[in-house]
Amino acid sequence: DTGVSQDPRHKITKRGQNVTFRCDPISEHNRLYWYRQTLGQGPEFLTYFQNEAQLEKSRLLSDRFSAERPKGSFSTLEIQRTEQGDSAMYLCASSYGGKSTDTQYFGPGTRLTVL
Q: Which residues bind another protein (CB under 8 A)?
A: 31, 33, 35, 40-45, 48, 50, 55-56, 58, 89, 91, 93, 95, 98-109
CB of 109 to another protein, least distance (A): 5
Cβ atoms within 10 Å of 95's Cβ, excluding its own: 20
- Name residue 65's amino acid: F
Is the CB of 12 or the CB of 18 nearer to another protein? 12
CB of 81 to another protein, least distance (A): 26
CB of 77 to another protein, least distance (A): 15
CB of 16 to another protein, least distance (A): 27
Is the CB of 2 or the CB of 101 nearer to another protein? 101
Is the CB of 56 or the CB of 78 nearer to another protein? 56
Q: Which residues contact residue 66 at a Cβ distance below 8 angstroms, ignoring those fewer than 6 apart?
A: 77, 78, 80
10-13 and 110-114 beta bridge pairing:
parallel
Q: Which residues contact residue 90 at a Cβ distance below 8 angstroms, ignoring those fewer than 6 apart?
A: 6, 21, 34, 35, 36, 37, 77, 109, 110, 111, 112
Q: With contact defined as beta carbons under 8 Å apart, do 12 and 26 qualify?
A: no
Is the CB of 33 or the CB of 65 nearer to another protein? 33
